[in-house]
Amino acid sequence: MTASHQPQDVARFWREAGPDKWFARDAAFDREFAARFGEAHMAAARRELDHWLDEAESALALLILLDQFPRNVFRGTAHMFATDPLALSLARQAVARGHDRAVEPALRVFFYLPFEHSEALADQDRSVALCEGLDDYARYADIHRDVIVRFGRFPHRNAALGREATAGEQAFLDAGGFAG
C-alpha cells in the first residue's frame, strides 16, 4: 500500500461522492474507486489496516473499504461478498466503541450496512435496530430483514456464489423481488 492511502483519503472520497454515487451503478465511479483504493482494499482484507478501527473517522474508512468497495468494484462476482465477515466483525467493534455516533448522521449507515449485508437473522435484527430513525435506510433494513426471514439468505446472491436457487427463490427473483 502506498503512503497516499490514508483513512482520511477514503473518507473524503466517499463524502465527496455523496449519496448519488454511493448506491448507484456507475462504471466510471467504480473504476475511479478501484484505481484510487484497490491497494487499500487488499491491505484491509489482509488485516493490515485493523488499527484504523482505533478512531471513528478511520473506522468509517475501513468499513467502506471492506463493505462498499467490493460491492462497487467486484459487482456480480463472489468477491463482492468475500470481505463481508471481516467487515461485520469490525463493524461490531466500531459500534461497540461508539464510532458510529462520532460521525455525521449521513455516514452512520456505513457502520450498519455490514449487519444488513449479513445472511444471519440476528444481524438483520441488529441492522433494523441500528437504522431506526435513519429514514430510507430504516426501510431498506426492513426489506433486507424480510428477505432473510423468508429465505434464510439473499437469493440475488445465488448466481455469484454458485448456489442453486430454490423454486421459491427463483419465483421471487422472476417476479422482480429484491435484487440488492
Of 89, 50, 86, nearest to 66 by C-alpha is 86
Distance CA(80)–CA(103), nearest Å, equals: 26
The CATH architecture of the domain made up of 1-114 is Up-down Bundle (1.20)
Q: Where are the domains of the chain?
A: 1-114, 118-180
For the segment 116-139, the average pLDDT, to the nearest whole number, is: 96
- Residues 41 and 176: their CA atoms lie apart, in Å, by 32
* Percent of the chain topping pLDDT 90: 92
Q: 1 pLDDT exceeds 90?
A: no
Percent of the chain at pLDDT > 70 equals 98
Q: What is the mean pLDDT of residues 30-52?
A: 97
Q: What is the mean pLDDT of the chain?
A: 95
Q: Which amino acid is at 116?
A: E
**Does 4 have pLDDT greater than 60?**
no
Regarding the domain with residue range 118-180, which homologous superfamily does it belong to in the CATH classification? Tetratricopeptide repeat domain (1.25.40.10)
Of 94, 128, 97, 96, nearest to 111 by C-alpha is 94
Give tens-digit pLDDT for 64-91: 999 999 999 999 999 999 999 999 999 9
Average confidence (pLDDT) over 56-69: 98
| Whole-structure pTM value | 0.94
DSSP state of 52: G
Half-sphere exposure of 170 (CA within 13 A, CB side): 6
